[in-house]
A and B are shown apart, each in its own frame.
Chain A
Amino acid sequence: MTDSRVRWIGFGLAFVGYTAVGYWLQVRHGFIIGDALARVAAAQSVLFSRSPHVAAIGFIFTPLTAAVQIPFVALGPLFPSVVARAFSGTLMSAAFMAGAVFQLLGIGMDRGVPRRYTLVLVALFAVNPMIVFYGSNGMSEAPFIFFIVWSARRLIMWMVDDDVHHLVAAGAIAMGLAYLTRYDAAAVIAAAGFLVAITTFVRATRAPRFKRALLDMVLVSGPGFLAFIGWAVASWLITGLAFAQFSSQYGNSAILAQAGGAATASMWEGVIYSLQSFTLLAVTLAPLLLWAVVARWGRTHWTMLVAPLVIFGAVLAFQVYTFSKGATFPFLRFYIIAIPFATAAAFFCVPNGVLRTPTRRGNYAAAEQNPPARPGRWAYVLPALLLAVCVPVAGIGMTSPRFAPQEYGLVALFASPDATGQVNLDERRQAATFSTEREIAAYLDRMDLPDSSILADPVYAFSIIVASRHPRMFVVPSDPDFVAVLNDPTASHIRYMLAVPNKGRGTSDALNLRYPTLYETGGDVATLELEVPNDGKDQPVWRLYRVNDPVPSGA
């Protein structure tokens, strides 16, 4: 069976597997992560909100995860769970994580290691609980892993065959799109640029040496850099803020400030926390890396190892650095790149076989060398065993509330129905997140309200809007007339306002900004109709306020 066919079969199996897991998690059990649901809500608002327009995708967070889901969300009216249960997210992340499986198989096959070894290593990657979860839950980790692994695969081969096609695929496509998936890709774009420039500078000694290195750097990092500029310009043109993630009231910096920050006392504590996090995910990452470096030092085509070290290392280093500065959250998923990193490292613990023939060998390709002799069986079994240890340890890590605040609720899905205790209660609360919002949406739908009758801010209300069958009921800040309507709800024929407490993240809610006493007393424009205690974790107690009727003029 050809290499290509094996890769596609791997893709197909992974896609089906992750989709099935996602269906079970999200549609059957309703376990949905907030950010995933928010992406679906963004895609939905592009198509089905009161004023559908592409810019409704939002500029706080990068657009790719939501934009790719637009075709699936378009089927929402036919299949409500696609939107309400974020199943479109499942389809998106399953496709990308299966793509990551495809590319990892490619790394092994390009390198020419025995096929069985490749299959075992990639299978260990694919069944890692963290990978399974993030391949099925609609978060941006899956596309990000796919693009980074793709870039690494291409640059690994570029280090020996200097084929410009690798620079184009890695730089123009993978890294450019990676930036539009997560801002962290900026670190990879910069690191890859320097890797390529330095490598070309070292191996091409004829003049003009510097310009040649610079040209290669432009080819690899240019498109990613342009994605950075383009996204900032688009954001500035439409919202007035170039870097909304930092300066907007809804952005990361604001959320951190409102939620009390990353809660570490000192920079060193932050570094230690980060190291512990990614050790939980890929416990044998350090031993595998050490083995790979020692085994390949000075041997045939050893430079290939530098590429994954730089690419994956840049992502991890960036995460550790930003967390230690208090600029991001203590989430386990930010270190997920450690798992493909460990898998790639395992490929380098063994010598290469016959390398894949390049499409167009470059001018400064390394001299072709015969593949070294194949070592004995244990040279393959031991690294595979090391990698296999990561799988259960990652699973255990995901049950820790301290390190995995977004994942530990999964345990409740596997616990018996009679389980008790505070831990179990916390897990069940986490698993029940957004169930109350779905019920509120159903309640509002049953009222059969006309369009444009409910004021709400998607900061928290996105989970209600996405579960509603009539999203046009809601007037949201991305509508052009939102400010006018908010100023005078009575005259604009608004019936209800959805209010959240005016503290923490709720301070950025537009309704609270305009009417700071809305939640407590109705702000003189509305009266309390309904209060809904929330079953979910970290979700607000909702209050539905009915807007006052107009006072008859003339007395």
Chain B
Amino acid sequence: MRIEYERSDELLSVDSVTEAEKQWALNRAVDGLREDDPVRSASVAVLGWQRAALWGLLAVTVVCAVLWPKATAVTFVGLCTLAYVVSMVDRLLTFRTGLAARAIVISDEEARAIPDENLPQYTILVPAYDEPEVVANLVGSMAALEYPREKLQVLLLLEADDEVTIAAAQGCDDIDYVSILLVPPAEPRTKPKACNYGLQFATGEIVTIYDAEDVPEPLQLRRVVAAFERLPDNTACVQAKLAYYNGHQNMLTGWFTAEYGLWFGYLLPGLMRSNSPIPLGGTSNHLLHPVLDKIGAWDPHNVTEDADLGLRIAASGYQTAIVDSVTLEEANSDPINWVRQRSRWLKGYLQTWLVQMRRPRQLLRTLGLRNFIRFNVVLFGTPIIAVLNLLFWFITVLWFLGQPMAIEAVFPWYIYFPSLAALSVGNIATIYMSLIALREDDRSDLLIPALTVPLFWVMMSVAAAKGTYQLIRNPSYWEKTFHGLAEQPGPTP
């Protein structure tokens, strides 16, 4: 099956592009989605009826809190408990599905069996900003990929005024399939804007993104092609698994690595098997170029453009699959850096949720009830529950210290027992799932991080609070993550 790409004559050429064409491409990169389909753009965080609804809800809550404080408090706690229980049950069900089934497995022989003539054109976008120290690794990772060079196009996307990185990248330009594409400087300075710009020069029928320091598994591109052959026609994206190579650097990277292992190994395959919407990972998401053009590529105003694209894929009626191929990345090893990165992710989840909920009835129709609930649990529930955790942990500590009457009043027995179950069984179940994931991946070296993970949850809650606050004050601010804090490994054996 050849994936036909019909608009190749509209593409711009890297070598012979004119200034006017560049400006036009830049405009499309920044404003394309907003102009074509403003409802699907996060350029304005809260749109139309949502704004009225949120203000209205706030007003109603304040009035009720003043008139009937105890009933309001009980209702609030009851709703939160319901959210916890629903989220916990949903995660268990997803995990169970993912544990019994697996990601799509393509064997080495099958991957290599596709003759070169039958392989499609491939474009790899590598956006980088202010990262001179890792750009050099790019060459090694790309050289290790097993794909015919004449069908491969690697576009290194740099901002035109980023002189340090451009200087460091000079060596890359000598390789014939790697091109440096200078994006004209413009706000917002985000990765999705650069990718949108680069997309207009992309000749590939399949497009993917790698970060400069990523180490993809050499047969990944071939496995993706084989996976697309096998999957139904409405599959728009194949996501590879992300893993961290510096899991042993410190406790934080241990926690992070265990979390990714659970997410990519079991939760995402579980979502895939029940045709639920899948928030994409930041890299190694292999997309069909025609579909990207149709549904609008990346949203430069959304700080987690990958999650947003994954949801837009589902909301447009397409599917995402997970393939059993690993890209190694560097986990953030510095706590402050990590909190900033995680706050950006959680803010982005909320942004994505707000955008997708602008047409809730249509979304419900497209996804179906169960997946609609799941979408809410994952995108809205994850950040909000992380914030609520702070409140409820505080209440629990207070309760153990003094058993104040105020707390007892707010937890009647029909709320108390579910919330007690959520606290004890829910948290234990989460740790237990993580242990199962480690066992099946044979990563028992991460046993101690898995058992001490509640501290990780505290950090996550702090990040969630920061992200939610930022959403209200400064929605499109992109917290840059610093890389290069760990030793790079060689390509996977």
Contact A215:B435 (CB < 8 A) given known A230-B424, A360-B99, A360-B440 = yes
The stretch of A75-83, A206-214, A250-258, A514-522 in contact with B is A206-214
Check: B432 CB closer than 8 A to any chain A CB.
Answer: yes
**Contact status B100-A164, CB under 8 Å:** no
Give the interface residue-count category, chain B. 10 to 19
Contact A226:B442 (CB < 8 A) given known A211-B447, A215-B447, A218-B435 = no
**Contact status A214-B436, CB under 8 Å:** no
Check: B445 CB closer than 8 A to any chain A CB.
Answer: yes
For the complex, would chain A's binding face be called helix, strand, loop or mixed by DSSP majority? Answer: helix
Check: B439 CB closer than 8 A to any chain A CB.
Answer: yes
Q: Mark B380-424, 1 if CB is under 8 A from A, else 0.
A: 000000000000000000000000000000000100010000001
A216 to B436, CA, bound (A): 9
Chain B residues with Cβ under 8 A from A165's Cβ? 99-100
**Contact status B100-A216, CB under 8 Å:** no
Chain A residues with Cβ under 8 A from B444's Cβ? 208, 211-212, 214-215
Check: B428 CB closer than 8 A to any chain A CB.
Answer: yes
Chain B residues with Cβ under 8 A from A230's Cβ? 424
Chain A residues with Cβ under 8 A from B447's Cβ? 211, 214-215, 218
Contact A168:B424 (CB < 8 A) given known A208-B445, A211-B444 = no
Expressed in whole angstroms, the minimum distance between the Cβ of B442 and any Cβ of chain A is 5
CB contact list, B417-457 vs A, under 8 A: 417, 424, 428, 432, 435-436, 438-440, 442, 444-445, 447, 451
Contact A215:B100 (CB < 8 A) given known A208-B445, A222-B432 = no
**Contact status A215-B99, CB under 8 Å:** no
Question: In the complex, which residue of chain A has the Cβ closest to the Cβ of B403?
Answer: A237
Expressed in whole angstroms, the minimum distance between the Cβ of A46 and any Cβ of chain B is 11
Question: In the complex, which residue of chain A has the Cβ closest to the Cβ of B438?
Answer: A215
Check: A422 CB closer than 8 A to any chain B CB.
Answer: no
Contact A360:B432 (CB < 8 A) given known A211-B447, A212-B442 = no
Chain B residues with Cβ under 8 A from A223's Cβ? 428, 432
Expressed in whole angstroms, the minimum distance between the Cβ of B106 and any Cβ of chain A is 19
Contact A164:B428 (CB < 8 A) given known A214-B447, A215-B444, A363-B440 = no
* A164, A226, A359: the one within 8 Å of B439 (CB): A164
* A54, A168, A222, A363: the one within 8 Å of B442 (CB): A363
Chain A residues with Cβ under 8 A from B451's Cβ? 218
Expressed in whole angstroms, the minimum distance between the Cβ of A179 and any Cβ of chain B is 14
Contact A359:B442 (CB < 8 A) given known A214-B447, A222-B432 = no
Total count of chain A residues near the partner, CB < 8 A: 21
Check: A172 CB closer than 8 A to any chain B CB.
Answer: yes
Contact A219:B439 (CB < 8 A) given known A208-B445, A212-B444 = yes
Most buried by B among A212, A216, A223, A226: A212
Q: Mark A415-453, 1 if CB is under 8 A from B, else 0.
A: 000000000000000000000000000000000000000
Q: Mark A47-73, 1 if CB is under 8 A from B, else 0.
A: 000000010000000000000000000
A212 to B447, CA, bound (A): 9
Expressed in whole angstroms, the minimum distance between the Cβ of A239 and any Cβ of chain B is 15
* B413, B424, B436: the one within 8 Å of A219 (CB): B436
**Contact status A216-B432, CB under 8 Å:** no
Question: In the complex, which residue of chain A has the Cβ closest to the Cβ of B448?
Answer: A211
Question: In the complex, which residue of chain B has the Cβ closest to the Cβ of A206?
Answer: B442
**Contact status B436-A168, CB under 8 Å:** yes
Expressed in whole angstroms, the minimum distance between the Cβ of B431 and any Cβ of chain A is 9
Chain A residues with Cβ under 8 A from B99's Cβ? 164-165, 360
Expressed in whole angstroms, the minimum distance between the Cβ of A105 and any Cβ of chain B is 23
Q: Mark A400-413, 1 if CB is under 8 A from B, else 0.
A: 00000000000000
Chain B residues with Cβ under 8 A from A362's Cβ? 440
CB contact list, A196-250 vs B, under 8 A: 208, 211-212, 214-216, 218-219, 222-223, 226, 230
A223 to B417, CA, bound (A): 20
A21 to B80, CA, bound (A): 47
CB contact list, B180-236 vs A, under 8 A: none
Most buried by A among B413, B435, B438: B435
Chain B residues with Cβ under 8 A from A214's Cβ? 444, 447
Chain A residues with Cβ under 8 A from B417's Cβ? 54
Question: In the complex, which residue of chain B has the Cβ closest to the Cβ of A215?
Answer: B444
Chain B residues with Cβ under 8 A from A218's Cβ? 435, 447, 451
Question: In the complex, which residue of chain A has the Cβ closest to the Cβ of B451?
Answer: A218
Chain A residues with Cβ under 8 A from B436's Cβ? 164, 168, 219
Chain A residues with Cβ under 8 A from B442's Cβ? 212, 363
Contact A172:B445 (CB < 8 A) given known A164-B99, A219-B439, A230-B424 = no
Contact A211:B445 (CB < 8 A) given known A219-B435, A360-B99 = yes
Contact A226:B428 (CB < 8 A) given known A164-B439, A211-B447, A215-B444 = yes
A403 to B131, CA, bound (A): 81
Expressed in whole angstroms, the minimum distance between the Cβ of B415 and any Cβ of chain A is 14
Chain A residues with Cβ under 8 A from B413's Cβ? 54
Contact A359:B435 (CB < 8 A) given known A164-B440, A211-B445, A223-B428 = no
A226 to B431, CA, bound (A): 13
Most buried by A among B432, B436, B439, B440: B439
Chain B residues with Cβ under 8 A from A168's Cβ? 432, 436
Question: In the complex, which residue of chain B has the Cβ closest to the Cβ of A364?
Answer: B442
CB contact list, B42-100 vs A, under 8 A: 99-100
A362 to B436, CA, bound (A): 11
**Contact status A216-B439, CB under 8 Å:** yes
Expressed in whole angstroms, the minimum distance between the Cβ of B359 and any Cβ of chain A is 39
Question: In the complex, which residue of chain B has the Cβ closest to the Cβ of A209?
Answer: B444
Contact A359:B100 (CB < 8 A) given known A212-B442, A219-B439 = yes
Expressed in whole angstroms, the minimum distance between the Cβ of A410 and any Cβ of chain B is 40
- List 18 A-B residue pairs with CB atoms under 8 Å apart, sorted by A's residue number: A54-B417, A164-B436, A168-B432, A168-B436, A208-B445, A212-B442, A212-B444, A215-B435, A215-B438, A215-B439, A219-B432, A219-B435, A219-B439, A222-B432, A222-B435, A223-B432, A359-B100, A360-B99
> Interface on A for B, CB 8 Å cutoff?
54, 164-165, 168, 172, 208, 211-212, 214-216, 218-219, 222-223, 226, 230, 359-360, 362-363
**4 tightest CB-CB pairs across the interface, nearest first?**
A212-B444, A215-B444, A211-B444, A208-B445
- Could you list 14 further interchain pairs (A-B, Cβ under 8 angstroms) beyond the known A164-B436, A219-B435, A226-B428? A54-B413, A164-B439, A164-B440, A168-B436, A208-B444, A208-B445, A212-B439, A212-B444, A216-B439, A218-B435, A219-B432, A219-B436, A223-B432, A363-B440
